[in-house]
Structure 1
Amino acid sequence: MRSSVQQKGQSLLAPYYLVYMGEGGEPVLGYMQGKRCLDYLKKLCQGKTEVLAELAQNLKKETKNYAYMKAYSSAFQLAIESVIGKSQEVGAASFFSTELVSLNAEGVTSQSDFDIVAFVVVKRK
């Protein structure tokens, strides 16, 4: 459940964080753009009712039946680092503004403060 009062400098999806990571491990859309990430996913999935079996099979093969997910877990770690790093920027800026909110103020300071709720891999056909 989300509070009806949205604080400036806080993600619309808080307390959840959604980051769109590129293939090179860089954040394409950061956690403050979670709504935009969802819009992209919606557009990609529009009109599709099933997983593309060929792509799912390729991912299964690439990861040896999902046992070797290093590339994807590395992307997850980088996503967390981007969230924490951005929070530290906001935290530093909040010294000069009463409108910005830092994750540090909410007790989010390390990778162990995050859990994966969902992990989506988008592949080209």
Structure 2
Amino acid sequence: MVYIAENGEVMSNHLEPKKTLDLLRLLCRGKNEPIIELCHEFNIETRDGRDMRKYSDLLQETIASIIDVTTDNALDSLFKAGGTTALKTNITGLDDFELICFVVVR
């Protein structure tokens, strides 16, 4: 789970799921129904989901951030007691992931 801004900035990485869930909960507080106007805008923008290039590009950015953070953590583990994870990481790109769901926050 990664929270990435529209500009590609990672707001919270995959190692911070609680932070991501807390942010989503805060953003959704007091909203019990979908905001139809925003759903309509999203459908126009994406041609009812047929043009998801913008979100596919953000997904690529998200995967790149996961690879970067995982690599950094693996390198950090070289200098910590208890063994390393540097040789266990085998994430190379999009094919190593399965998109289960996404949330667009506006």
Q: How much identity, in percent, do the aligned residues show? A: 32
CA contact (8 A) 2:2 2:12 kept: yes
Cα–Cα, structure 1 residues 102 and 111, in superposed 2: closer, same or farther, change >3 Å?
A: farther
**8 Å Cα contact 2:3/2:13 also seen in 1:** yes
Moved over 6 A (4+): none
Using CA pairs under 8 Å that are at least 6 residues apart, name the structure with larger relative contact order, 1 or 2.
1
- Look up the match of 2:64: 81
- The one-character-per-residue Cα deviations of 1:89-116 (angstroms, maximum 9, x if unpaired) are 1111111113587486264343211111
Q: Cα distance 1:88–1:70, how it changes in 2: closer, same or farther (>3 A)?
A: same
Deviation digits for residues 30-86 of structure 1, max 9, x if unmatched?
112211110011111122121100000000001111111111111111111101111
* Normalised TM-score (structure 2): 0.88
TM-score for the superposition, normalised by structure 1? 0.76
Structure 2 gaps, min length 5: none
Size of the aligned set, in residue pairs, is 106
Deviations 1:10-46 (A, max 9, x none): xxxxxxxx11111111211111221111001111112
